[in-house]
Structure 1
Amino acid sequence: MLEALIFICFLLSLVFIFFKSKPQYPFIGDYLTIHANRHRLTEWTSENIRTSPTLTFLVRRPFGQARVITGNPDVVQHILKTKFSTYQKGFFRTNLFDLLGDGIFNVDGDEWKFQRQLSSHEFSTHSLRHFVEHVVDTELNERLLPILTTAAANDTVLDLQDILQRFAFDNICKIAFGYDPAYLTPSLPHAKFAVAFDDAVRISSERFRINTPVLWKIKRFLNIGSEKRLKEAVTEVRQFAMKILSEKKQELTDKSSIQSVDLLSRFISSGHSDEKFVTDIVISFILAGRDTTSTALTWFFWLLFKNPAVESEIVKEIKDKSDSLIFDEVKEMVYTHASLCESMRLYPPVPVDTKTAIADDVLPDGTLVKKGSVI
């Protein structure tokens, strides 16, 4: 009995040491440390980067899986520019394939180049001006501002993140599909597609945080738990996207209709009739335009609330520029632009990007990278 008690105390002391330090052991690697910080992985990652002399460190996951994590600007440029073709989507693609399929954020090589080239038309000066002056301006003045004004007059509490997500969702659906979901209306409707999209993004993202990926793959194979819900959510999202695609095709063949110039129309007009391919692309753009924009704006307004002096300067700048056209005045708002950039530096909407090396390499800080390594 005494021997058993001593043995248990010995094991507990080892566990304590595992949790307090950053050990790397056979089979389990950094599992206990990762698990202890599972509620603050971004913060934990940032702390490790800051304490590393090279701003790069290695995490060993269970069963020998190793990942290189870096915040070194030279390394980031090396991966995303200098050796761009060497670092591809890899397991990122595997985790998000059910939702994104072969969309622009989930492909490499020629497929990526083609989608990027076609999509770039949407971000030309002319397209952006049209988007801001017609789509965003309407959404602002006819939906967002009236809701905020009414809430202020009635002293009503609003979930700002939800409101801004609805605002971004309406905007991106208009630019991607030429379709208005009217998600930001006074009744704040419970749209089935939006809820399904939320669930699909959340569950797909959770796959990245699982230390042993085989677990979610087993759940998917058995069609149980969160993976069952993911399958249902993705089905709902794709059914909605296919419905919009069908309507858009009809619009483009109907010579008498007023045809909109949106992302979906461009892809269909380019000769791509594969419905899955086109829907993959559009779903990717909804993901990019909705969550990143709403997250950035939520943190921005929270920081303004915490820094009233900055808020006063921004209000002053807006008043000084109010005689200009809406698109031109935004370009002239230097202080507001700087504040938004600083907000995204402190709270980046996408704090992590993941790549997989398809060949052995040496990073600028001297880190050796083996083929198949996750960065």
Structure 2
Amino acid sequence: MGFSSAMILNWLHFWDVALALMGLFIFSCLLQRFTNKNGPMLWPVLGIAPSIFLNAHTIYDWVTMALIKAGGTFHYKGVWFGGSHGIITLDPSNIEYMLKTRFSNFPKGKYYRERFHDLLGDGIFNADNELWKEQRRLATSEMHSGRFVEYSFFSMQELVHKKLLKLMEKVVVSGCSIDLHEVLLRFTFDNICSVALGADSGCLELDLPQSPFVKAFEEATELTMFRFMVPPFVWKPMKLFGIGFEKRLKEATKIVHYFAENTVKDRRGELKRLGSLKDRFDLLSRLMDSEKQHFSDKFLSDFCISFILAGRDTSSVGLAWFFWLVQKHPEVENKILKEINEILGQRQCTEKESPDGDTVFTVEELKKMVYLQAVLS
């Protein structure tokens, strides 16, 4: 079968266009690499997306090295027409400028809010302007109250002695290994649920059970981040038709909201039955028992979900790094132990211990641990 001259010309034109586009692609890559020597590679059309997927298995190490190489700050762009572009920074002066000096110049905006709305609703982490100010005012006033501080302290103390130390003793006796980061995640989750909702998530029991709420919360936060990695013309149709990761996200957020909404509903019923929540000091109860204003159940649910998100990963990751660094610097560990032993040496023999014989530190003793506080900072 022969080829007509028209077919041959079309074929040649196709390869001319293909080679021209390939040349343009290579030229754009080289140009971007020369003009952006410090930041991660921004590919033509696809932006930073290929770099993220190529390094997905070591994403935290990759981001850390990229920030170090760029001097702490770099620009990024996402897929064309995806609306994703901005700056990633860990420079303290930049962070202070955004969060303090010119905070009003950096609202979250529609791009951020619509991606987190299914999980966080109008909670403080997803609020702007007056709504954010109101929630911050409420959180600050309640968290700084003497009753809440005292409740938080004793909740933490009880969680450490009745759950965390018992779990560690079991690990030592059995001689098995354990993922410390996972234990600390469970520890901080139990603590924040107690402080925020006055509820026990139950994920730090001795057998380390898998809590549906905890699992759903983790999955919902991870899947929500995918919305920042793909353009809206991809994830929005997926959400509409309930396919892919959007289907899993919908199922996870449903479990999270069901738990939070039921907790609010039960507490509301308790308030109506008793007429007051004066014997409860968790954040949800204090907001609900406020005589000054009435908050809707949705507002309280969104507020508490954001509070859980704020108090879980931050504390657990900080503690994991703390123990890793202490293990790497035995001289620091020795100074911490020396300070603790000196404080214990100042105790009177009549001072009490816990029923299980564990050493229980008072607030005054903890304030004396200046070196430990410096290390934690």
TM over 0.5: yes
1:254 is paired with a residue of what secondary structure? helix
Structure 1 residues 70 and 297, CA gap change in structure 2 (3 angstroms): closer
2:274 is paired with a residue of what secondary structure? coil
In the alignment, the residues of structure 1 paired with residue 173 and residue 337 of structure 2 have an alpha-carbon distance, to the nearest angstrom, of: 20
1:321 is paired with a residue of what secondary structure? helix
1:272 aligns with one of 294, 300, 318: 294
Q: Give the C-alpha shift of residue 279 in structure 1.
A: 0.2
- The yes-or-no answer on 1:312 pairing with 2:331 is no
Q: Give the C-alpha shift of residue 249 in structure 1.
A: 1.1
Structure 1 residues 306 and 18, CA gap change in structure 2 (3 angstroms): farther
Q: Give the C-alpha shift of residue 258 in structure 1.
A: 6.9
Post-superposition CA distance 1:25-63 (Å, at most 9, x none): 65334444444444445544444544557x543223221
Structure 1 residues 134 and 94, CA gap change in structure 2 (3 angstroms): same
Post-superposition CA distance 1:126-159 (Å, at most 9, x none): 2464134421111111111011012112212222
Aligned to 1:60: 77
**8 Å Cα contact 1:132-1:327 kept in structure 2:** no
Q: Which amino acid aligns with 1:305?
A: Q
**8 Å Cα contact 2:29-2:44 kept in structure 1:** no
Aligned to 2:356: none
- The yes-or-no answer on 1:73 pairing with 2:92 is yes
Structure 1 residues 37 and 330, CA gap change in structure 2 (3 angstroms): same
Post-superposition CA distance 1:307-362 (Å, at most 9, x none): 22222222222222235752222222222222222xxxxxxxxxxxxxxxxxxxxx
**8 Å Cα contact 2:147-2:281 kept in structure 1:** no
Structure 1 residues 269 and 36, CA gap change in structure 2 (3 angstroms): same
- The yes-or-no answer on 1:27 pairing with 2:49 is no
Q: Which amino acid aligns with 2:273?
A: D
1:176 aligns with one of 196, 217, 220: 196
1:188 is paired with a residue of what secondary structure? coil
In the alignment, the residues of structure 1 paired with residue 325 and residue 28 of structure 2 have an alpha-carbon distance, to the nearest angstrom, of: 37
Aligned to 2:254: 235
Structure 1 residues 125 and 255, CA gap change in structure 2 (3 angstroms): closer
More divergent stretch after superposition (15-24 vs 197-206): 15-24
Structure 1 residues 144 and 56, CA gap change in structure 2 (3 angstroms): closer
Post-superposition CA distance 1:66-120 (Å, at most 9, x none): 3223333333222222221121112222221111110011101111111111111
Structure with larger RCO (C-alpha < 8 A, sep 6+) = 1
In the alignment, the residues of structure 2 paired with residue 114 and residue 262 of structure 1 have an alpha-carbon distance, to the nearest angstrom, of: 19
Aligned to 2:376: 340
> Computing the radius of gyration over CA atoms, which structure comes out larger, 1 or 2?
2
**8 Å Cα contact 2:343-2:365 kept in structure 1:** yes
Structure 1 residues 16 and 170, CA gap change in structure 2 (3 angstroms): same
Q: Percent identity over the alignment?
A: 35
Structure 1 residues 49 and 193, CA gap change in structure 2 (3 angstroms): closer
1:181-196 paired onto structure 2 within 5 Å: 181-196=201-216
TM-score normalized by structure 1? 0.78
Q: Give the C-alpha shift of residue 196 in structure 1.
A: 1.1
**8 Å Cα contact 2:148-2:281 kept in structure 1:** no
In the alignment, the residues of structure 1 paired with residue 148 and residue 192 of structure 2 have an alpha-carbon distance, to the nearest angstrom, of: 12
- The yes-or-no answer on 1:218 pairing with 2:237 is yes
TM-score normalized by structure 2? 0.78
Aligned to 1:358: none
In the alignment, the residues of structure 1 paired with residue 178 and residue 248 of structure 2 have an alpha-carbon distance, to the nearest angstrom, of: 28
Aligned to 2:343: 321
Q: Which amino acid aligns with 2:259?
A: F
More divergent stretch after superposition (241-250 vs 325-334): 325-334
Post-superposition CA distance 1:278-303 (Å, at most 9, x none): 10000111111122211211222222
2:279 aligns with one of 240, 248, 259: 259
Aligned to 1:159: 179
1:292-303 paired onto structure 2 within 5 Å: 292-303=314-325
For structure 2, list consecutive stretches of 5 or more residues without a partner in the other structure: 1-11, 348-360
How many residue pairs match? The answer is: 337
Q: Give the C-alpha shift of residue 267 in structure 1.
A: 2.2
Structure 1 residues 291 and 47, CA gap change in structure 2 (3 angstroms): closer
Aligned to 2:223: 203
Structure 1 residues 336 and 214, CA gap change in structure 2 (3 angstroms): farther
In the alignment, the residues of structure 2 paired with residue 194 and residue 71 of structure 1 have an alpha-carbon distance, to the nearest angstrom, of: 29
Q: Give the C-alpha shift of residue 227 in structure 1.
A: 1.0
Q: Which amino acid aligns with 2:45?
A: F
Q: Which amino acid aligns with 1:142?
A: K
RMSD: 3.3
2:257 is paired with a residue of what secondary structure? helix
In the alignment, the residues of structure 2 paired with residue 233 and residue 336 of structure 1 have an alpha-carbon distance, to the nearest angstrom, of: 39
Q: Give the C-alpha shift of residue 24 in structure 1.
A: 5.3
